[in-house]
Amino acid sequence: MSMNPCRFGLIGYPLEHSASAGYFAEKFKREGLSGFSYSLFPLMHVDEVRALIAGTARLQGFNVTIPFKESIIPFLDRLDPLAAGIGAVNTVLIRHTGGLAELIGYNTDAGGFKSSLDPGFPYTHALILGTGGSAKAVAFILKEMGLEVLHVSRTKKSENIIRYDELSAGLLKKFTFIVNCTPAGMFPDTETAPPLPFGLLGPQHYVYDLVYKPPETKLLHLARAEGAKVQNGIKMFENQAELSFGIWMNAK
């Protein structure tokens, strides 16, 4: 990609929780990338993406958030092998050739999540709250790391998914790493939390919430009160943003 001023952005709905525009504005300023910009593009339907590209000059790439990380895939021309293996996309590179725009999908959530974990990560069993695009990326990494993974959802959709009301003391004794991949607790609905049996948590548990706004969600507050180790999603957010930017800027 040339160093001519470029435009990037984020698609999804709603986007009021996102820190992406501010993060990239600071990054462009810090790196002296004059004329570069990053915008929020709230779309009600994923099939609006081609019209967005056609109507947005200099758009070279965009990130994808809720609820389009899986539904964007049929609108792409190609998938990076990692994104194809995960089945979800959060970063899209746009190649402009003549009057055509080729869309290539990537997943930087996976790498962003993995690099946010502490060295010497000791856990062997993980509960993943949710089944969407972010949950798929997290599950992919944890399985790659050798963990046994079990998804938790409000409705049972397959054999590897249980409902919240099926969580027992026995399960929570075994599955001590818990990752929230749902939007529960995300700004502006900060008083919500996944319906975990918090009284069964303790110091042996590590609760990771992909939500980063607010910095301490109700989930993390309740888990911390039971003695659990907690972490929000800000490191993952920053790591995936850097990986996305590398894809856009290193495109040939």
Residues noted as catalytic: 69
Listed in sequence order, the residues at least 6 apart from 129 whose beta carbon sits closer than 8 Å to its beta carbon are 135, 151, 152, 153, 178, 179, 180, 181, 182, 184, 194, 196
**Alpha-carbon span 189 to 217, nearest angstrom:** 10
Q: In what order do the strands lie in the sheet with 100-106?
A: 37-42, 7-12, 59-64, 91-97, 100-106, 78-79
For 49-63, letters b (16+ CB in 10 Å) and e give beeebeeeeebbbbb
